[in-house]
Amino acid sequence: MPDDQTDPVAAMMAADEASRALGIDVVEHGPGWARARMTVRPDMVNGHELAHGGLIFTLADTAFACACNSWGPLTVAAGAEISFLAPARLGDVLDADARARTRAGRTGIYDVTVRRGDQVIAEFRGRSSELRT
Amino acid sequence: MPDDQTDPVAAMMAADEASRALGIDVVEHGPGWARARMTVRPDMVNGHELAHGGLIFTLADTAFACACNSWGPLTVAAGAEISFLAPARLGDVLDADARARTRAGRTGIYDVTVRRGDQVIAEFRGRSSELRT
Amino acid sequence: MPDDQTDPVAAMMAADEASRALGIDVVEHGPGWARARMTVRPDMVNGHELAHGGLIFTLADTAFACACNSWGPLTVAAGAEISFLAPARLGDVLDADARARTRAGRTGIYDVTVRRGDQVIAEFRGRSSELRT
Amino acid sequence: MPDDQTDPVAAMMAADEASRALGIDVVEHGPGWARARMTVRPDMVNGHELAHGGLIFTLADTAFACACNSWGPLTVAAGAEISFLAPARLGDVLDADARARTRAGRTGIYDVTVRRGDQVIAEFRGRSSELRT
C-alpha cells in the first residue's frame, strides 16, 4: 500500500480505532475498490452462536468506506442495505470486496460482497455522500 | 426483566458475546419491542473521528433481534436497511428503540430509531425470518 | 382538500399525469402524511396474475411524494425500499398510508404501508431530499 | 427469443398486462439476466414534470422479474431497493439491465441499472424468492 501521506485510505484506516479493535484488515485497495478481512472471534458471536450480523455489516462498511474514500475527497456513508444469505461462525475468515457501482455528483453506490471462501455470506449496498469542502 | 428460563430475550442476550463486548445493554423489552443502549467508546471511533457506522448498525441490530425474538420462536435477521442522519461522537450515549411494524407469516418488519437524547442519529429497518422448527 | 393555490400537494397532484393514468386518488393528506388509493385494474396485472409490484410501489411512492411535499418546499424521492408481504389481485382496492418518520436537514424518512382492508400488502420506506432553491 | 413453450420469460411476459400497458419491451434476456426498455410517455410524468419514480421502478422490476424467472422455477420479488440518481424526462428512452448477483437456496439478489444512453438514472437491487412447488 502507499504510505499515509499520499493515500487517503491508509490515512483513514490509521485513525480507525473501531476497525482495529475488531481486527479488520484492509488487505488490498485501489481507486473505487477495497478488500477487507475479519476473523470471527469469540467476542463476535451472538445469542444464536453465530457471528453477530452487526459485525458482518461493520466489516462490509469498512470495505465500503475504503472504496468510497479512495478517490480523495472526504466521503461518508449516507446509508446501506444488507441481505444476510448464510450464517458465519466462530473462527470463520470473512472477506469483504467493495466496488464502486455508480457515481453521480456527490453521491455514490457501492456493492460489497462478504464471503467465506467461495460462499457468499452477505450482500451489502452502500450509498456514499461526498462532503462539501 | 423476567429470568432466562421463561424469557427468550434474556436467554438470547445472556449468550450474546458480541453485544456484551460492545457494552450494549438491553434496558427494556416486551412483546415486539426493545430498547438497547450503547456508549460510544474510544475503540468505536472511525477514521473520521466519528462512531463507526457499523457499530451504530450493530446497536440497532441487537435491539431488532430482541424485538423479533420476543414472541418466542427462534427468529433471525434476513436483512436490514439503515440511513445515517447525524454523526455520533466519542462519549455519546445512544438509545435504539425497536418496534414491530408488520408480521406476515414467518416474515417480520421492524423499525429501529437510534437517538442521542432527542436527536435521531439513524433510522434502521430490519426484515426478520422465523426459523422452521 | 385545500385548493391548488395554497396547497402544495393539490398543486403537485393536479400535474401528476402518471398517478392520474393509474387511477391513483389522494383521498386525504395533511402535514407530513397522506393516504392514496388505487384499484388493481386488468392492465396492472403481471405474468403471475398478480398486481405488478412496480405499480404497488408506484401507489406507495405517490403517497410518499404527497407526504414529503406537504410542508411546502419542493422535495423529491432520493430512494426507497419496499418489502412485498402479500400478493394483491385484480379488483383489489389498495390504500397506501404515508407518514413522516424523521426529518433531518433536507433529508426525510417516510414510512408507507399498503393495505387491502386490514391486510398489509407491502411496507415501503422512502428517503426524501428537499431541493435547494 | 425462444418461444413461449420453452422459455419461462417469454411465457411470463406474454401474460404481463402491466408491462404491456406501459410499453415495456424485454429486448434481450438469458440465464440470470435481462434488458428491458421503456419510453417515458406523457402519461408517465409526475407533478414535477419528471418521469414518475414508480414507473422507473416498474421498468427495473420487470427486468428483474425476467432475470430471476429465467432459470425456470416460478420466482417472485420479495422486496427491492432503489436509488434515484438523475431525473428522466418526457420522451427519454430508458434501458434497464438486470443481472443475477447471488443465489443462495431459494433466495436471489439481482442488480438492475436503469440508464438513458450512458447516464445512470437509477440503481435497483431486488431480492427474489423461489416458490415451493
Say if D122 falls within a structural domain. Answer: yes
Touching subunits for chain A (3+ Cβ pairs under 8 A): B, C, D
Closest Cα in chain D to B81: D81
Chain A partners of D101 at a C-beta cutoff of 8 Å? 111, 113, 123
Name the residue type at position B90. L
**pTM, to two decimals:** 0.96
Closest Cα in chain B to C105: B85
Q: Count chain A–chain B contacts defined by CB atoms under 8 A.
A: 133
**pLDDT for the residue numbered D98:** 98
Q: Give how far C108 is from chain B: nearest CA, Å.
A: 9
Say if D103 falls within a structural domain. Answer: yes
Band the pLDDT of C5: cuts 50, 70, 90: low
Give the whole-angstrom CA distance, residue A81 versus residue B22: 22
Residues D36-41, mean pLDDT to the nearest whole number = 98
Given 3-state DSSP classes, what are the helix, strand and coil percentages for chain A, each rounded to the nearest 5? 25, 45, 30
Say if D93 falls within a structural domain. Answer: yes
pLDDT tens sequence across C54-104: 999 999 999 999 999 999 999 999 999 999 999 999 999 999 999 999 999
Chain C partners of D34 at a C-beta cutoff of 8 Å? none
Band the pLDDT of A48: cuts 50, 70, 90: confident
**pLDDT for the residue numbered B3:** 53
Q: Is the pLDDT of residue B100 over 90?
A: yes
Query: Quick count: other Cβ atoms within 10 Å of Cβ C133?
Result: 5
Q: B120 and C111 in contact by Cβ < 8 A?
A: no
Q: C127 and A79 in contact by Cβ < 8 A?
A: yes
Say if B63 falls within a structural domain. Answer: yes
pLDDT tens sequence across B66-80: 999 999 999 999 999
User: Cell 485501489 sits at which residue?
Assistant: A30
Long-range pairs of D102-107 with CB within 8 A, sequence gap ≥ 24: D102/A85, D102/A113, D102/A120, D102/A123, D104/A85, D104/A86, D104/A120, D106/D130, D106/D131, D106/D132, D107/A83, D107/A85, D107/D78
Do C85 and C92 contact (CB within 8 A), yes or no? Answer: no
Q: Give how far A46 is from chain D: nearest CA, Å.
A: 22
Say if C62 falls within a structural domain. Answer: yes
Radius of gyration from C-alpha coordinates of chain A: 14
The CATH number covering residue C94 comes to 3.10.129.10
**pLDDT for the residue numbered C89:** 96
Say if C29 falls within a structural domain. Answer: yes
Do C116 and D124 contact (CB within 8 A), yes or no? Answer: no
Mutating which of D39, D48, D94 best tests the C interface, going by the most C Cβ atoms within 10 A? D48
Residues of the domain holding B72: 8-130
D97: β partners? D35, D113
A115: β partners? A95, A120
Give the whole-angstrom CA distance, residue C96 versus residue C81: 15
Count up the domains in chain D and report the number.
1
Q: D85 and A101 in contact by Cβ < 8 A?
A: no
Which string of DSSP letters, residue by residue, matches C60-101?
A: HHHHHHHHHHTTSS-EEEEEEEEEE-S---TT-EEEEEEEEE
% of chain B exceeding 70 in pLDDT: 95
Mutating which of C39, C46, C74 best tests the D interface, going by the most D Cβ atoms within 10 A? C46
Query: Quick count: other Cβ atoms within 10 Å of Cβ C16?
Result: 22
Which 3 state secondary structure label does DSSP give D87? coil
Say if C46 falls within a structural domain. Answer: yes
Considering only CB atoms, D81 lies closest to which of A104, A107, A125, namely A125
Band the pLDDT of C49: cuts 50, 70, 90: confident
Interface of C with A (CB under 8 A): 79, 81, 127
Say if A2 falls within a structural domain. Answer: no
